[in-house]
Structure 1
């Protein structure tokens, strides 16, 4: 069942006036786009940079880049759909949602997509040109109507939707075939039900299959145009059916890979349910299973360190913010298990110990096994030989003290170094390993701001040569010619561990998919 266009537009406008200027943008971490038309500013944060973009008068600002280290703000006339995108680990790209939508709401007066032909396939005439037709609507007369290039627009609010002057002398203008933005209401066999989600939507099983910018979702059982590890085989309990939006990895809300080769994934626009989330089960005051539903008030680790409050970033910065994960029970500084760890844990107020497990009394009265205690300092036998490709120890802490992300997890970092793809690399739990022939064992971290780090391991004292593993070092599906300069964040083959983008050294590789 479709809701009215007016109601949908109202919901869209309502969501855009929540007070957070960044809500009008889609964020992508660790990327850079090449564009000549840009302006540079010095700002303190992303919000100030967004304000510069909104106030830009030199061109129509579609996006902006912000670098954390230099606090540099670049306002851009182009977005990722119009330019080349590549990896830059310190940068964050923000793109205006309105320019990414390839669908219309209502009459499409606010449509700012890049469709440039009529429904019959006739190319559009540029709005600023006078041949073959002298236009009544020009960028000069209507500066706020988005009359750029030859893109379909609706400057006069025509009830039939976006249109354009055509390049056919016999046809002055015609309408464009712009699809309606998908609404969030569906039918079920038991009557109409509103599609909504509880918490972060991990239990969402609806049928929305477009992203918040209007892109069609890629089917979960497909590897085109984006390769990924989210399959029914690996996540049988996550209901990865068709191309419906899902949240299999504990993200902020449901998402999907897109059918656009230039946009790997996006969040979906799923409204929150008005009813309260389900109450925790019987294990809420004691340890049952992994303790994911534990809601007790223990706030000290098993070694005696007091827990850091979840809503603070001192002494340890982290991504488990209560407002982002309203159903994880991240209250005060109580021990919790928001990420499916072995049992409840917390960040500590000890600046030298980032996190530790907590001792929670089990519901069945049995003692907890001591084997699950995290290793903060490597044992004497915890060492590696050569590059550490044969290392099979249980260290799961990086050199800077960060906790390792489990290899079969895609949160907080998505990757392709999975046990299924590297069966001989022993990618168990979150233990440090070297599946790709790097300089030494490493792991992805649970810190959202740090993709990966080398582990807190020393080389063995003996001179025994490391056994040669049966499998060759991992490479990405498509090779990238290495540059002559080594780069922090790459492995021995000069490839980024982040599988989404190739590393470019101020050059543009001839890769049409970018």
Structure 2
């Protein structure tokens, strides 16, 4: 597992000179002082540090010039087959008794020692299987009355996925083209908002391929500076998927389990069949999302939107949300619901001071005339500029703001092809106070943005793209 810009504080290490990371890896493989679990390489200094610990046991720090490599086998806490290659840190038996160190002679004199079996990973008191026992890893115990016992090491998950891989928890960490995945908790070489603390239920561990956002299959950011992200090549399981949770006929939460038969949008448009590519081509097909109930043309939520939706048969409206009755028997909203933008009367604060960090006006259109996306919304663009993350930035409604101290106020747009733009505002120093005409209060946009259909994989998920015409927004 490769992590750029990382450094480990490790008391047990050996320092070597190396011309490349491959040469450093060879020194780690041949290390005789200890079991080498990881190594650090700095190309500028041509320095190689072999390490006895990894990110599971040592604290990680940032260091721009270094690259950390960790042996994947030491990061796994599961066993394959009889576990002869298990190198995890479990150190108690299946009954909870602490393991005796392999190098100790009390309370039991061991037959299997680090000296006799140097390749068996018999360090500390970790569970191991030096004799290839069919029952798996074991250890000598610290109980004088029990010489040894087996350890409760879980089986590693089979490297296949059901459905779209939303519940995949395997350890594949390379993309379809063979690129190494970037760690989810790293911002190098690609900055992003898919941090483990932001998605605690998505199991964003190490640099393993995952599907945290409703894509057709697991993916990851890559360690290549020129390739932001790619899908991972994980085969579908041949065994049947786990039985689905019974679907609801009403709306609960985001409606991801809605399996009713409503097939009309909130503005009255008929839904397009999910298996059809006419009038709108798309990637939300039953083949790509086999467990999301994409039957007929019923309203569904296969990709984590805020509520069920569908593509429409109206050529001018690509997709719309559906009006699904709530399970709590709340009265459903009538079609033509207006967007969460207050009626704007005469506006007096439509210029900004300095870089506009303090601007609290109600302008909500960009300089090219695009309507701003509400800061609380994740559609059509997902982001982390929310009122919760920036409580002092005035991120209410869809008003132009400057939460990140940019050069002037800006907003995410409701155009799926344009992530964000600066707003149509001028500095107060350059003009007198002006008013902005009230925008028409309309029904929610019929085409708030579909961001998945395109030809190339690079353009399939705009929320993972960095648009280059303007600085990227996370």
TM-score by length of 1: 0.45
TM-score by length of 2: 0.48
Which structure's CA Rg is the greater one? Answer: 2
